[in-house]
Homo-oligomer: A and B are copies of this chain.
């Protein structure tokens, strides 16, 4: 598992916690579901705990659980918790300010990037963790 999968893995983690219905789930169990190292999971969970989406219980028989209901958590909340501030490549982009184009291009692009980012997050905001959870346990036709 290489490349930036922080968000995808984080949604997986929270979906797993929802699936386990409030139990204190150790990082090793989540790591088995994601198929990665427990430390990777704990690092992402640290961000999710900091933003109060998840609560952590140290010590024996400890573990992680959702800090609120799955309805109250949107994918945008998760995205913002674990993704770094989007730079869109504007940091480390230092055009020649002696050129009329280079002097202005950054200030022109910045608000455009902010809107593009907002457009993406608006779509994520429409999906709750509960919706993801629901799709995990689909209605089983014919079964009551």
Interface of A toward B, CB cutoff 8 Å: 1-9, 11-12, 15-16, 19, 32-35, 75, 87-96, 99-102, 104-105, 108-109, 112, 115-124, 127, 132, 135-136
Contacts and interface: CB of A to CB of B under 8 A. Distances in A.
B119 A132 contact: no
A5 B120 contact: no
Work out how many copies of this chain go into the complex. 2
A92 B109 CA distance: 31
A54 to B, nearest CB: 16
Given A1-B93, A116-B124, 16 more contacts: A3-B91, A4-B89, A5-B90, A8-B89, A8-B109, A9-B93, A15-B105, A16-B99, A19-B100, A33-B99, A35-B95, A100-B136, A115-B123, A116-B121, A119-B122, A120-B120
